[in-house]
A and B are shown apart, each in its own frame.
Chain A
């Protein structure tokens, strides 16, 4: 059973669609024999992507390494449950900005980790979050420009196997504190600018539901934050759909350009339909 790869052929939108779309692929996709071989696994990760991309983006052209988008993650992930990933947008190369960024983890059971919509004029150039990675895999960021072009960057991550499993570390604590939020506001790095950084943290087990109980073979029920919107003065900064491979206690750090002094509002909805809301006054940007 453990040699089977499961993957979704769709964006992780409605949960039912995710499960309906899970496909049990043959274990031969993965180089399971012997110690993981980076070369083989790079190739097998790429094969998964080649099969997957049409399902996610149709037959649209995807420009690779054009410089519009960049992705960074550790070459060797230390903890498979918490792999930091940074996505950078170069506004100089895309003057009209970016509409959305889709984060893909080829080998995960549901490869579309999350799709982020970026608010017009929000000025987001850097987004960092943490994801679960099940195996050696490419992480890909596909950015869609306002003009509808797709640009992709990728980085290969050797997810540490061993006993660092992509699972919740302290399940009781995760359930007891679910829905708590914390917002950190970092002042602008340079004076005379309104670009500042925010870090939003949400307590949630964010269980992908794609682990199988080895005894019963049943999937453990999914329970994750599948919709998130962050706005300031009622203008959207960043929203997320999907989120199936985002680490427990979802954590997002990003820069943005404040408009006026309106408060920052957050709404999150999980797969059980629970809604979590919070708001914070905007801390004075260094003017």
Chain B
């Protein structure tokens, strides 16, 4: 399908009905979903042949069906690539249904930007349709260490119904440093990063439209979470900023966002956090005390600040103590 036809065919929005085991077979069939009740997933056209589903700035829950991160779709003349599979099979199947309305091309690749459940819990839906799952070379190891814990802790958090069918499925095509994927008429450039948000961060650059899918290396408006290396993240931010993108689809936050301006607030937050933690360490303050106040001047500037700031401070303290 030619790209300009794709572009004209803006997908307005659709809904998946409330979680129900009985509904799942219809979702798995990628049929158009009923619009009664449930969560509406809006897939928007952000550039020529590039689409994104914007997640909500919340923790994963039964109410939001796990759809808290941004997912991407790039349509070539031969094939489609999807960036991240979402936080549930419901969300993944809703995305697949939306893609079916955009193009008849097959989804050849699912690219996981990193290990977190809101980006990988829908992987089974893509395995089901025969897509090749692509990820950072560290991603299988990270999922091996965490997969069982994720399945257990998210069952508690989002409930059995939304966890139905969720499996930990690691990538089979691994990116050591860089990898190009040809979708027909456009190349995707994948890049594996050193530890930052996690130790398995991958970015995807669509050279045809210069759209960067940054995964969780970029948070906009919603507090970044640290599960890798604060120093690594700060060190790589300059290299990230030199990517010649026209726009970015961040892992969390508005889609699309300006580039590289999208990095500004995130960099400021990490610099404030590092400054506060370094001072606490120099003063001999223990971790348990330091995390209560570090980064406090950033409160009010971010959504989910109280949910994640202390956790970030804890990880930052343990890392910066070794400087």
Please give the residue numbers on chain A whose beta carbons come within 8 Å of chain B beta carbons, in ascending order.
1-3, 32-36, 72, 74, 78-82, 84, 86, 128, 130, 134-135, 160-173, 177, 180, 182, 184, 186, 201, 203, 207, 211-215, 220, 247, 249, 251, 253
Q: Is B211 an interface residue (CB 8 A)?
A: no
Q: Tally B residues with Cβ within 8 Å of A.
A: 49
Binds A, one of B12-20, B97-105, B222-230: B222-230
Is B145 in contact with A167, judged by CB distance below 8 angstroms?
yes
Majority SS of interface residues in chain A?
loop
Name the residue in A78, A80, A134 with the highest tally of chain B Cβ atoms < 10 Å from its Cβ: A78
Is A35 in contact with B157, judged by CB distance below 8 angstroms?
yes
Q: A2-B148, A182-B321 are in contact. List 14 more A-B contacts (CB 8 A).
A: A80-B149, A161-B154, A164-B227, A167-B145, A169-B198, A169-B229, A171-B142, A182-B322, A203-B322, A214-B167, A214-B168, A215-B168, A247-B318, A249-B322
Bound CA–CA A247/B314 (angstroms)? 12
Is A186 in contact with B195, judged by CB distance below 8 angstroms?
no
Is B153 in contact with A162, judged by CB distance below 8 angstroms?
yes
Contacting residue for A134 out of B149, B154, B170, CB 8 A: B149
Please give the residue numbers on chain B whose beta carbons come within 8 Å of chain A beta carbons, in ascending order.
59-60, 116-118, 138, 141-157, 159-160, 167-168, 170, 195, 198-199, 225, 227-229, 232, 284, 286-288, 291, 310-311, 313-315, 318, 321-322
Bound CA–CA A164/B143 (angstroms)? 13
Bound CA–CA A249/B229 (angstroms)? 14
6 residue pairs, one from A and one from B, having the closest CB atoms: A161-B153, A214-B147, A78-B311, A84-B288, A165-B146, A167-B145
Majority SS of interface residues in chain B?
helix
Bound CA–CA A41/B152 (angstroms)? 14
Q: Are A86 and B116 also in contact (CB < 8 A) when A169-B315, A249-B318 are?
A: no
Bound CA–CA A177/B231 (angstroms)? 16
Contacting residue for A1 out of B141, B148, B284, CB 8 A: B148
Is A170 in contact with B156, judged by CB distance below 8 angstroms?
no
Contacting residue for B159 out of A1, A34, A253, CB 8 A: A34
Is B156 in contact with A79, judged by CB distance below 8 angstroms?
no
Bound CA–CA A205/B315 (angstroms)? 14
Is B232 in contact with A170, judged by CB distance below 8 angstroms?
yes
**Which chain A residues lie closer than 8 Å to B117 at the CB level?**
162-163
